[in-house]
Amino acid sequence: MKVFLLHRDRDFWIKPELQSDPVFRAMVDKSANPFAIENVKRNLEREREKHPDWVDSSPSSDDTLTQDLELTTVWRWMAAGDDFLYETAKRGLLSSLTDPSEILYRQQVLADCLAHAEIVGEIYGLALEGLQAEREAGSLWSGARPDMILHRSVQKLTLHVGVLRRLRQLAEKQGDVFQSEGFRRFVAMLREELDDEYLAEVEQHLGELEFKQGVLETAQFGKGLKGRHYVVRRQRELGWRERFTGRRRSSGYSFDLHPRDEAGFRALEDVRAHGINGVANAVAQSADHVQSFFTMLKLELAFYLGCLNLHEHLAAKGEPVCFPEPRTSGDLELTAAGLYDVSLTLHLEERTVGNDVHAEDKDLIVITGANQGGKSTLLRGLGLAQLMMQAGMFVGAESFTANVCTGLFTHYKREEDVTMESGKLDEELRRMSAIAAELVPHALLLCNESFASTNEREGSEIARQIVRALLDKRIKVAYVTHMYDLAHGFYEQKQVTTLFLRAERQDDGTRTFRLHEAPPLPTSYGEDSYRRIFADRLPDEAIAESR
Amino acid sequence: MATPDTQGLSAAYSQDGAAAETSSVQTAASEAPFYSILFESGTPNLDTVPEPGYFGDLNLDQVLEALAAGRDHYSLEPFFYLVLHDAEAVGYRHEVFRDLEREEVREPVERFAQAMTRMREHLAQVDKLRHRLQKQAWLLDAIEIYCRAVESLASELAELDLRARALDRWRRYLRAYAASERFAALVSEARELQNALGSLEYAVHIHGGHVSVERPQGEPDYGVEVEATFAKFQQGGVRSYLVRLNDYPEMDHIAGRILDLVAKLHRDVFGRLANYCDRSRGYLDEVVGRFDREAQFYLSYLELVDRFRAKGLQFTYPEVSDGSKAIDVAETFDLALADKLVPAGQKVVSNDLRLEPPERVFVVTGPNNGGKTTFARTFGQLHHLASLGVPVPGTRARLFLPDQIFTHFEREEDIETLRGKFEDELVRVHEILDQATPNSVIVMNESFNSTTLDDARTVGGGVLQQILDLGAPAVYVTFVDELASLSEATVSMVSQIVPDNPAERTFKVLRMPANGLAYAWAIAEKYGLTYDRLMETIPS
């Protein structure tokens, strides 16, 4: 029994780094404590306060990506206040798919979720209810004996079976509305695997596991004639006379404990425990497996519920969304209409400005032009769309087609304070070398004013060498820069695989936030900003001169 | 059970085709009945051998502690107390060491020792257990382990080219023993019984306080059925809920009653077990048992040697003489000190010792903590070790087998009893000189250091002269330079320092004229107090 709503043939794949942290452990903890995530986060926060000298010396590429693309904004809107949804959204978005057919599989399931949100919500509710079994059965003391383990597991499974039956009934009643391969498989599985006959079989076992007619076990001799290889055996049906007298006939020898022989009963319990141990383990593991099924069901649906929350908000604002068309990584494709920055729009009251990008067969996009002209926004929009596409989500655009990338990396100019310990250029180069250590062909690198911390000639030369190498390694690069030397250098090369975009400026100096295809210009518009901001301090002549 | 009859043994020897091809020494030796791998013939009562008086002074007690660690039950101490006085007896042991240094010889012997240890652990368990049947089962296992150990060692040794007389004789003995009818019966019955017990399966039905013990009727495994039913929920790894139940060797009374009933169901097997155990109580052969203990003398020492060799330190088989007093050892070191330095990752410094007639006495001088005492100990240790017949630290060694070894180490200083102490020391030195012969070895370490220079010169000089007159090889450690050139029989040795940094010792003790000035000059240089430096730095 597998949920398989996020992948056709496997459980929710989450990249290992995002599975090993205490937060994730709390998310999938069997106890399904609703405050588990909150508690873990609070503890982490306390630890950090206790050790103010702890500095994240080398942030991971995920941390960098999160910062540069402002991913937390997206997750917050997906979560709508639910910690579990937040953490699931984060893991889903950062664990990119690279196979277009996997992406389409998710898009279809998501489409079903958008169309039948209430049913999906109902299934999610049943998953939560199933997870309650662990808490209701009480916690297991670490020194618990096999009979205690067995008893508790039978209790848990009894609760589980009730929820499973209702899940199957829901599948029977409403399951036909789903169109996606994922949901159709899920519904069919529930109907087939959890039919009444099977559930009755389970319930019969749960009854028998109380061993009302005693336990029959076999053993062999181990070291020093101590028993080993204990096995609990299914007992033969008792005859009517045996049932009548309550005494089972035996061909061997027997003895009875004195009812007050407490030590004897304890010792006998030990013999019994040896036999039951294996069965108790099997039943307890089965209960864990059912619990894991509910955990996975919750986890996978939580990702879609997050998507529903985000969708609802964007739709309410009138921002267009679409399911993108993913292409294979070798295709070198990037075409978008009305592409906008989802995280930016989540911050704003009004709608944002969309851009069209035609970068089919392009491996290098050089973005130049006026400051605050929408360069960074476009770059972030591109990154977000790419990431959301590869999570199987809709994207913030009217249409979007792109090849999947094998990894998404960002190299942004950092503010001063991060670079205390060493020179800015050192810091930039160190970050770049960390990225380079992770790059593989068909990755995508977004550079925002990289290597602007040194003089233009030096910065350009460094950047040129890096970019040239990456392109030869078939890595796609989108580079926002005001270094004319660098941008012009690329232009001179007249490579048909390079796209030049430029932030527009109206003649009156106002920005449209719209970019268009155009070669880099030798001057930037920094003076505009300068003039605007320093207007009160600059003499009129200076302003006139700068014209 | 005693040694198998010699009739059977000699019969086994005469059938041994391999023996005819071996050297004449071995053939001749093979006629001697095997007794011990430590002593060629007979042995003193080892368990009354006391610890030699010099053991503590030479830190040999520390070496022994390292050797005996983890081998308590062998009581190895007497083996390392009792010294040999003739070169032939030393050679008998050197041969064994040389053979055991070969992996192919040592490994089977080590495995044998491990098996015998396991066997003893089993016997200890037999004593501890209370249930009759459990006692029998553990004894059965002990015998089986013993039999397997004997068989393995006998067959493995048979393949080997053994050069040591002791090992060759042992091999012959063992082969005859393993081929004896009595041993064969011991083995085959043990195995039959183990197989019979191992294949038994019994069923227990527990219902409240009612317990039935039965023969199983092929009832299906219920756990498998449960697992099959829930198999479809398998979600990957989950934790194990198997409880670790007690696995002490002992049984409680309920398990014991169940066992009794199983035995009742299978009277035949358990009857045979009881009978076998009764008959086999004295199964352990005395000679086999002695070999097991004596082998530890070699194995423990080789283990120590290996540990040092792994760090680049060398051992050698000394050429020993009970006549010549010429001593020549290259790159040797203090075994006890090395055992402390090596685990701490520190460097072990080695020294050369050479006494050629008419030289008899090393007089060691030089800076404190420079290795003088270590040098004296090394000299003493070498003679004890050589007399044990073990390889000694060094790359090459010629040593004298002394009749006795005497040491006099300065006791801890105590101002209160200073005068009394000096007299005590003199009394002790006097006793030593009374007992020593020209064939004894004497180690005197800073004997009169806590006295005045004058006393040390006159008394020390007097004692040294007596040792020289006696003609016994000796080490005399002192701070009195003059003693180093007392006669042509003295060899002056000086502990060395690093010239640039006098605080650092090399622990090298070299043959050179005593010269206290070298150290004084170096330390003065370091503090800028030499003549030249003072002339430069003090304004004119």
The answer to whether B538 faces chain A, any CB pair under 8 Å, is: no
Which of A73-87, A293-307, A425-439 shows the lowest mean pLDDT across its residues?
A425-439
Sort out which chain A residues have CB atoms less than 8 A from B252's CB and list them: 263, 267, 270
Distance (Å) from the C-alpha of residue A88 to the closest C-alpha of chain B? 19
- Give yes or no for residue B529 having a pLDDT over 80: no
Q: Could you tell me what percent of chain A has a pLDDT over 70?
A: 90
Looking at every residue in chain B, the average pLDDT score rounds to 84
Residue with tokens 């027997």: A254
Share of chain B above pLDDT 70, in %: 82
- Give the Cβ contact number of residue A464 at 10 Å: 16
CB–CB contact A224 B134 (8 Å)? yes
Residue B538 has pLDDT above 90, yes or no: no
- Is there a contact between B210 and A254 if contact means CB atoms under 8 Å apart? yes
pLDDT class of B527 with cuts at 50, 70, 90: very low
**Which of B132, B206, B224 is the mutation pick for testing A, counting most A CBs within 10 A?**
B206
B207 part of contact set with chain A, CB < 8 Å: yes
B214 sits in which H/E element: strand B210-214
* B520 exposure class (CB count in 10 Å sphere: 0-12, 13-18, 19+): middle
B233/A280 CB distance under 8 A: no
A87 to chain B, closest Cα gap in Å: 22
User: CA-CA distance, A427 to B153, in Å (whole number)?
Assistant: 68
pLDDT of residue A471: 87
Give Cβ neighbours of residue A30 (< 8 Å, ≥ 6 apart): A134, A288, A291, A292, A295
The reported pLDDT for the residue numbered B403 is 95
- Cα distances (Å, whole numbers) of residue A359 to A362, A476, B28, B55, B208: 5, 11, 98, 90, 80
Residue range A410-468, pLDDT digits in tens: 999 875 443 333 456 667 777 888 888 888 889 999 999 887 766 566 677 778 888 88
Give the containing element (helix H, strand E) for A505. strand A498-505
State which residue of chain B sits closest to A260, comparing Cα positions. Answer: B209
Tell me what pLDDT residue A545 has.
47
Query: Which of A46-60, A349-363, A391-405, B129-143 is predicted with the least confidence, judged by mean pLDDT?
Result: A46-60
Tokens for A461, please give them: 């030369």
A181 touches chain B (CB under 8 A): no
Distance CA A28, CA A34 (A): 11
What is the band of B451 on the pLDDT scale with cuts at 50, 70, 90?
Answer: low
Of A236-250, B125-139, B335-349, B419-433, least confident by mean pLDDT is: B419-433
pLDDT-above-90 percentage for chain A: 61
Q: What is the average per-residue pLDDT within A236-257?
A: 85
pLDDT value of position B26: 35
Worst-scoring range by mean pLDDT, A58-72, A386-400, A528-542, B223-237?
Answer: A528-542
Of B341, B347, B447, nearest to B62 (Cα)? B341
Nearest CB partner across the interface for B205, out of A216, A234, A270? A216
> Of the given ranges (A499-508, B142-151, B527-536), which has the lowest mean pLDDT?
B527-536
Q: Which residue shows structure tokens 């040792």?
A: B467
Return d(Cα A182, Cα A102) in angstroms, integer. Answer: 11
What average pLDDT does this structure show over A36-62?
80
What is the number of other CB atoms lying within 10 angstroms of the CB of residue B538? 7
Sequence-distant (6+) residues with CB within 8 A of B28 are none
B229 neighbourhood in chain A, CB within 8 Å: 201-202, 205, 286
Per-residue confidence band for B420, with pLDDT thresholds at 50, 70 and 90:
low
Compute the distance between CA of residue B360 and CA of residue B409 in angstroms, rounded to an integer: 19
How far, in Å, CA of A453 to CA of A426, rounded?
Answer: 10
* Chain segment A168-226, per-residue pLDDT in tens: 999 999 999 999 999 999 999 999 999 999 999 999 999 999 898 899 999 999 999 99
Inform me whether the pLDDT recorded for B376 exceeds 90: yes
A368 beta partners: A502
pLDDT of B365 > 50? The answer is yes
Q: What is the mean pLDDT of chain A?
A: 88
**B531 and chain A in contact, CB less than 8 A:** no
Percent of chain B's residues with pLDDT above 90: 59
Per-residue CA distances from A112 to A312, A374, A508, B269 (Å) = 15, 35, 49, 71
Mutate to test the interface with A, among B254, B267, B269 (most CBs of A within 10 A): B254
Q: Is the ipTM of this complex over 0.95?
A: no
Residue B15: what pLDDT?
Answer: 32
For chain B, say whether A10 makes contact (Cβ under 8 Å).
Answer: no
CB contact under 8 A, B222 and A274: no
What does residue B263 show for φ and ψ, rounded to 5 degrees? Answer: -65, -35
Query: Please, which pLDDT band fits residue B417 given cuts at 50, 70 and 90?
Result: very low
Look at residue B17 and tell me whether its pLDDT is greater than 60. Answer: no
pTM of the model as a whole: 0.65
Across A219-248, b (16+ Cβ under 10 Å) vs e yields bebeebbbbeebbbbebeeeeeeeeeeeeb
Query: What residues of chain B lie within 8 A of the CB of A273, using their CB?
Result: 243, 245
Pairing of strands B441-445, B474-477: parallel
- Higher-confidence position of A463 and A356: A356
Are the beta carbons of B301 and B365 closer than 8 angstroms? Answer: no
Whether residue A286 and residue B249 make contact (CB cut-off 8 A), yes or no, is: no
Going by pLDDT thresholds of 50, 70 and 90, the confidence category of residue A73 is: very high
CB < 8 Å to B209, chain A: 256-259, 261, 264-265, 268
How many CB atoms neighbour CB A438 within 10 A? 11
**B278 or A236: which leads in pLDDT:** B278
Give the closest of B198, B221, B239 to A221, CB-based. B198
The pLDDT of residue A58: 65
Evaluate whether B166 touches B92 at the Cβ level (below 8 Å).
yes
A265 close to B (CB below 8 A): yes
Residue in B207, B216, B254 nearest the CB of A248: B207
- Pick among B130, B132, B204, B215 to test the A interface (most A CBs inside 10 A): B204
- Report the DSSP beta bridge partners of residue A339: A355
> How far apart, in Å, do the first and last CA atoms of chain A sit?
71
Q: With contact defined as beta carbons under 8 Å apart, do B262 and A168 qualify?
A: no
Tell me, yes or no, if A256 comes closer than 8 A to chain B by beta carbon: yes
pLDDT at A29 over 90: no
Let me know the angle formed at the C-alpha of A237 by A234 and A243, rounded to the nearest 5 degrees.
Answer: 125
A271 inside 8 A of chain B by CB: yes
Q: Tell me if the bond preceding B358 is cis, omega within 30° of 0.
A: yes
Taking residues B423-433, report their average pLDDT: 80
pLDDT at A421: 38
Q: Which residues of B277-298 are buried (b: 16+ CB within 10 A; e: fewer)?
A: beebeebbbebbebbbbbbbbb
Residue range A467-473: average pLDDT? 85
Residues 6+ apart with CB under 8 A from B397: B316, B317, B318, B319, B328, B329, B330, B332, B382, B386
Residue of A nearest to B200 (CA): A220
pLDDT above 80: residue B368:
no
What digits encode the pLDDT tens for the residues B53-77? 999 999 999 999 999 999 988 999 9
Q: What is the pLDDT of residue B4?
A: 36
Over 50: is that where the pLDDT of B285 sits?
Answer: yes
A298 reaches B (C-beta below 8 A): no
* pLDDT number for residue A101: 97
Q: In chain A, positions 194-223, which contact chain B (CB-CB < 8 Å)?
A: 201-202, 205, 209, 213-221, 223
The alpha helices in A318-341, defined as continuous H runs, are none
The confidence score (pLDDT) of residue B515 equals 66
CA distances to A120, B3, B40, B105, B295 from B36, rounded to whole Å, are: 86, 13, 7, 17, 10
